[in-house]
């Protein structure tokens, strides 16, 4: 089942200290040629891997898609339905940095079919914005939400981060309060992870990065669960919360272990049982699109064992967990047969629970997700 499309726009006007996504400083980059080659990749992709179902979710991520000019972004958005067949109810998301889009750009996105935005607020604290090197300031996230709504884009998500260097519980509470006061339908909130090839990683290696203690980070997460529930946000995944049933259908496709198309430099795709990764550096990606069938740096045939592992550790991220019936339907084997004793062991540790057909994390399991997930790897030690 392949109903989703991801397109990567790797350009940024400023590089955040925590970001390890494939990205390049916008100035003097061959943006127009890159867009042309993305379209060429779209054409080659659907020829090599024809659609069997209509596209139901599109996600334009980055980088910063809205770092493109209005005309550049319009050209990219209008190319999508030329190469892919979409449902009438497609969920179409574009990532937006606060302050990076004006009314004209929002109205263009709306007219092109975009109906959902993911706004990278990260924090509402002005000092922390400087710490993580964001290029927006106080009030710009709120203004971006207002402009988007006035332009007719109804489904708005805010990205938040906790466990930031020097972040206090009060700062986290204040940021959550400001997010909850906005007229938005979704919040994604992730703890900071120090990734290689980032400024924070270099600082951490030199002992120059003061991070909150693990106990405080866990307290921040626990507080968030209670706070957002009180404000009408339902937790449908470990780090994602929605109002009115407006979950991110695109992200659910990943967590449901469904296949998806991926376009652009460094993009990943999962098509016809293969997980692929595109070349990341712009010159290599652009050369590969011109000279090769598809710009894949890596191709991996996913084994049945890997699919079953992924079904569990991605599916358990969802608050509804994994359906035993669906697992059997996909793999013709039951969870207990494939992972003997694992579920019972984790239930005894109060990390998993069963409700009707589903296996899901407990409240304690939410805090120790990685400990749960690793038990569903075939390379894991015996329990």
Q: How far apart are CA 171 and CA 226, in angstroms?
A: 17
Report the 10 Å Cβ neighbour count for 39: 18
Above 80 in pLDDT, residue 344? yes
pLDDT value at residue 264: 98
| Per-residue confidence (pLDDT) for residue 244, from 0 to 100 | 84
**What residue spans define the domains of the chain?**
2-254, 322-376
Provide the pLDDT for residue 135.
85
* CATH tag, 2-254: 3.20.20.70
Q: How do 274-278 and 86-96 pair as beta strands?
A: unpaired
CA 17, CA 381: separation in Å to the nearest integer? 36
Does residue 246 have a cis bond before it (omega within 30 degrees)?
Answer: no
pLDDT of amino acid 22: 84
Q: What is the pLDDT of residue 379?
A: 62
Q: What is the number of other CB atoms lying within 10 angstroms of the CB of residue 337?
A: 10
pLDDT of residue 101: 94
CA-to-CA distance for 355 and 323, rounded, in angstroms? 10
Residues 6+ apart with CB under 8 A from 323: 357, 358
pLDDT digits (tens, 9 = 90+) for 271-329: 999 999 999 999 999 999 999 999 999 999 999 999 999 999 999 999 999 999 999 99
Query: Would you say 109 and 73 are in contact if contact means Cβ atoms under 8 Å apart?
Result: yes
- For residue 211, give the nearest of 365, 18, 369 by alpha carbon: 18
Handedness of CA 146, 90, 313, 277 (dihedral sign): negative
Cα dihedral sign, 200-202-208-210: positive
Summary mean pLDDT of the chain: 95
Q: Flag whether pLDDT at 193 surpasses 80.
A: yes
Beta pairing class for 86-96 and 116-122: parallel
Tokens of 54: 């209509």
pLDDT value, residue 165? 97
Angle, helix 70-83 to helix 103-112, in steps of 10 degrees = 10
Predicted confidence (pLDDT) at residue 383 exceeds the cutoff of 80? no
> 59 and 7 in contact (C-beta within 8 Å)?
yes
Each residue's pLDDT tens digit, 362-382: 999 999 999 999 999 986 544
Contacts of 47 (CB under 8 A, 6+ apart): none
In sequence order, the 6+-apart residues with CB closer than 8 A to the CB of 321 are: 315, 358, 359, 360, 361
C-alpha triplet 289, 10, 166: angle, nearest 5°: 150
**Mean pLDDT on 24-29:** 90
pLDDT of residue 245: 85
DSSP one-letter string for 31-55: HHHHHHHHHHHHHHHHHHS--SS-E
């Amino acid at each position: 089942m392949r109903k989703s499309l991801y397109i990567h726009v790797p350009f940024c006007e400023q590089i955040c200290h925590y970001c390890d996504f494939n990205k390049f400083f916008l100035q003097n980059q061959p943006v127009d040629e890159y867009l042309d080659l993305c379209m060429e990749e779209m054409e080659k992709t659907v020829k090599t891997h024809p659609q069997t179902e209509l596209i139901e979710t599109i996600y334009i991520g980055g980088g910063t898609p809205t770092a493109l000019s209005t005309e550049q972004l319009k050209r990219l958005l209008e190319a999508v339905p030329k190469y892919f067949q979409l449902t009438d109810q497609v969920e179409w998301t574009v990532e937006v940095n606060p302050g990076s889009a004006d009314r004209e750009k929002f109205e263009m996105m709306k007219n092109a079919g975009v109906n959902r935005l993911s706004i990278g607020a990260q924090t509402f604290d002005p000092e922390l914005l400087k710490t993580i090197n964001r290029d927006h300031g106080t009030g710009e996230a709120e203004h971006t939400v207002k402009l988007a709504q006035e332009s007719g884009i109804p489904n708005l998500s805010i990205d938040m981060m906790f466990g930031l260097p020097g972040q206090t519980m009060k700062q986290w509470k204040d940021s959550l309060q400001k997010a909850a006061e906005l007229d938005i339908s979704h919040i994604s909130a992730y703890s900071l992870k120090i990734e290689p090839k980032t400024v924070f990683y270099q600082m951490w290696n030199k002992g120059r990065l003061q991070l909150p203690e693990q106990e405080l980070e866990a307290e921040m997460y626990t507080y968030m669960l209670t706070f957002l529930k009180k404000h009408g946000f339902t937790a449908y995944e470990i780090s994602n919360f929605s109002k009115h049933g407006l979950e991110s259908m695109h992200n659910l496709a990943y967590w449901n272990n469904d296949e998806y198309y991926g376009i652009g430099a460094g993009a990943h795709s999962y098509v016809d049982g293969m997980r692929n990764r595109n070349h990341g550096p712009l010159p290599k990606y652009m050369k590969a699109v011109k000279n090769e069938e598809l710009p894949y740096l890596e191709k991996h045939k996913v084994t049945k064992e890997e699919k079953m592992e992924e079904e569990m550790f991605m599916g358990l991220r969802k608050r509804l967990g994994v359906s035993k019936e669906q697992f059997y339907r996909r793999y013709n084997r039951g969870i207990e047969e494939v992972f003997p004793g694992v579920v019972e062991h984790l239930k005894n540790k109060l990390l998993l629970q069963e409700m009707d057909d589903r296996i899901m994390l407990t409240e304690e399991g939410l805090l120790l997700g990685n400990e749960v997930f690793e038990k569903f790897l075939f390379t894991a030690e015996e329990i």
